[in-house]
Amino acid sequence: MKIFVTGGAGFIGSNFIHFILREHAEDTVVNFDKLTYAGNLANLKDIESDSRYRFIQGDIADIEVVRKAIPDDCEAIVNFAADTHVDRSILDPEAFLRTDIFGTRVLLEVTREKKIPRYVQISTDEVYGDVEVGQFSKETDCLHPSSPYAASKAAGDLMVMAYVRTYNVPALITRCTNNLGPNQYPEKFIPLAVTNLIEGMPVPVYGDGLQVRDWLHVEDHCRGIDLALRKGRVGEIYNFGANQSPEWPNVKILDAILQQLGKGQDMKTFVKDREGHDRRYAVDTTKSTTELGWKPTWSLSEALRQTVQWYVDHPEWWKPLKSGEFLAYYKQQYAHR
Ligand code: NAD
Ligand code: DAU
C-alpha cells in the first residue's frame, strides 16, 4: 500500500511509520509534517535513507501544498497531524482550530479530488468527554468535548462524517485512549514526569491526582490503526483502549515512576487543577475486537517500565527538547498553577 501519513514526525505518527515499514515490506510511506514544536525528525533518523520512505515538510491547512505533495498513486491517507496538548489549547486555542478542523477538511477535500481510496482520521477518546466510573464510551455515543483541543478534534470527526455522507469520501475514524511509549514530547504527563525526575525537578500533579486515563502502549495503538486501515469499514468509528482493570489514576502512574527511578514522595507537587479537567476516560472496545480482531498486548506495568527506561536511556533525544520553546511554555503553564 502507498500511504500518505500526515503528522508522522510526532509521537504516534513516527511510531506508526516504523510499524508499517517493519510489518509490511511492500508498503511505502510519504510523511507530510509541518514540523511544529512537536514534530521531530530525530524520531525517524534510522529510516531516513530507506527507499520506501520520503519526508515532505508542509502544513495540512494549506490546500495547494497538500495537493502537490500527495502522489497521484496514493492509496491511503492516515491523518495524525494535529495540535495535541490540552494545556496549550487552554492557553491559546487558535492553532487547534486551524490544524485539527480546517486542516482535516483540506485533507478530506483533496481525498475527494484525487479519488484516494482510503482515509483514516486519528481521533481521540477525549471527544466523548469524561464518563462515570463503570461506564465506557461507545462509538455511537454523543460527543461532549471539554477542552478546546477535544472540541477541535470532535469538529474534525464531524467533518469526516459529513464528507462520507455528502461526497462518499471513503473515510473512517479511530478513537484511542492515552498512549505511552518512546518519542513522546516531554510536555505530556509521563515523559514530563520521567524527565523532570531525572533532572531532579518535582512533578506537578493537577488537582487531587485521582483522574483516570486508560493508558495504552503506542505499539498497540499502531496495530489497531493498521487493522482499521486495511479492514475497517467506510463511515465507521473504531475505539481503542487498554481496558485497564483495576484502573490507574495519575498518582498511581507517578508512584510507579518514582519507584522505578528511586525517587521519593517529596518530588510529587500537587498544583492547581487543569481548567475543565476530565475526570475519567474509558472506551468500549468491543467493536474493534470483534470486527478488526484487535486486542492490546502490553500490560500497563510492562509498558510503563519500558517507557521510563527508554527516557533514561535516551537523554540525547529529550534533553535538546527541554530548552527554548519548551521552557517558555513550561514557565507560562506553571505560572498560573
Ligand atoms: P504530537 O503532538 O506528538 O505530533 C503531532 C504532529 O503533527 C507533529 O509532528 C506536528 O509537527 C504535526 N503537525 C501539527 N500541525 C500540523 C499541520 N498543520 N500540518 C502538518 N503537520 C502538523 O501528537 P501525537 O500524540 O503523536 O498525536 C497524533 C494524533 O493522535 C493526533 O491527532 C492526536 O489527536 C491523536 N491521539 C493522541 C493520543 C495520545 O495519547 N498522544 C491519544 C489518542 C489520539
Ligand atoms: O485521551 C487521549 C489524549 O491523551 C490525547 O487525545 C491527547 O492528545 C493527549 O495529550 C492526552 O491528553 P491528556 O490531557 O490526558 O494527557 P496529558 O499527558 O496532558 O495528561 C495526562 C493526565 O495527567 C491528565 O489527567 C492531566 C494530568 N497531568 C498532566 C500534566 C502535563 C498532571 O497531573 N500534571 C501535568 O504536568
pLDDT of amino acid 337: 83
- Which sequence positions are flagged as catalytic? 125-126, 149
pTM for the whole structure: 0.98
pLDDT of amino acid 241: 98
Q: How confident is the model at residue 318 (pLDDT cuts 50, 70, 90)?
A: very high
Ligand index nearest the alpha carbon of residue 206: 2
d(CA 93, CA 88): 7
pLDDT digits (tens, 9 = 90+) for 324-333: 899 999 989 9
pLDDT of amino acid 22: 98
pLDDT digits (tens, 9 = 90+) for 73-96: 999 999 999 999 999 999 999 999
The mean predicted confidence, pLDDT, of the chain is 97
pLDDT of amino acid 112: 98
Cell of 184: 513522546
Residues 6 or more apart whose CB falls under 8 angstroms from that of 261 comprise 194, 197, 198, 308, 312
Task: Please compute the mean of the pLDDT values over residues 119-139 and round it to a whole number.
Answer: 98
Tell me which residue has cell 487552554. Answer: 90
DSSP states of 254-317: HHHHHHHHT--GGGEEEEPPPTT---B--B--HHHHHHH-------HHHHHHHHHHHHHH-HHH
d(CA 124, CA 217): 15
Q: Taking a C-beta distance cutoff of 8 angstroms, is the pair 17, 5 a contact? A: yes
Question: Strand 171-176 vs strand 237-240: parallel, antiparallel, or unpaired?
Answer: parallel
Exposed/middle/buried for residue 100 (C-beta within 10 Å: 0-12, 13-18, 19+)? buried
Task: Please compute the mean of the pLDDT values over residues 56-73 and round it to a whole number.
Answer: 98
Q: What residue's CA is closest to ligand 2, atom 6?
A: 124
User: How wide is the angle at C-alpha 108 spanned by C-alphas 102 and 114, nearest 5°?
Assistant: 135
Q: How confident is the model at residue 313 (pLDDT cuts 50, 70, 90)?
A: very high
Q: Taking a C-beta distance cutoff of 8 angstroms, is the pair 244, 298 a contact? A: no
Residues 6 or more apart whose CB falls under 8 angstroms from that of 202 comprise 196, 266, 267, 268, 269
pLDDT digits (tens, 9 = 90+) for 220-263: 999 999 999 999 999 999 999 999 999 999 999 999 999 999 99
DSSP states of 12-71: HHHHHHHHHHHH-TT-EEEEEE---TT--GGGGGGGTT-TTEEEEE--TT-HHHHHHHS-
* CA of residue 81 to ligand 1 center, whole Å: 5
Residue 272's alpha-carbon distances to 18, 21, 91, 205, 252, in angstroms, are 38, 43, 15, 8, 19
d(CA 282, CA 1): 32
| Residue 144 reports pLDDT greater than 80 | yes
Residues in contact with ligand 1 by the CB-under-6-Å rule are 6-7, 9-13, 33-36, 38-39, 59-61, 80-84, 99, 103, 122, 124, 153, 176, 178-179, 185
- Pick from 11, 37, 86 the residue to mutate for probing ligand 2's pocket: most ligand atoms within 8 Å of its CB: 86
pLDDT of amino acid 38: 97
Domains (range + CATH), the chain: 2-180+216-240 (3.40.50.720), 189-211+245-279+298-330 (3.90.25.10)
| Residue 25 reports pLDDT greater than 80 | yes
pLDDT of amino acid 309: 98
Question: Strand 2-6 vs strand 76-79: parallel, antiparallel, or unpaired?
Answer: parallel
| Residue 336 reports pLDDT greater than 80 | no
Exposed/middle/buried for residue 99 (C-beta within 10 Å: 0-12, 13-18, 19+)? buried
217 forms beta bridges with: 180
Task: Please compute the mean of the pLDDT values over residues 317-322 and round it to a whole number.
Answer: 96
Cell of 137: 464510551
d(CA 248, CA 225): 24
| Residue 334 reports pLDDT greater than 90 | no
* CA of residue 313 to ligand 1 center, whole Å: 24
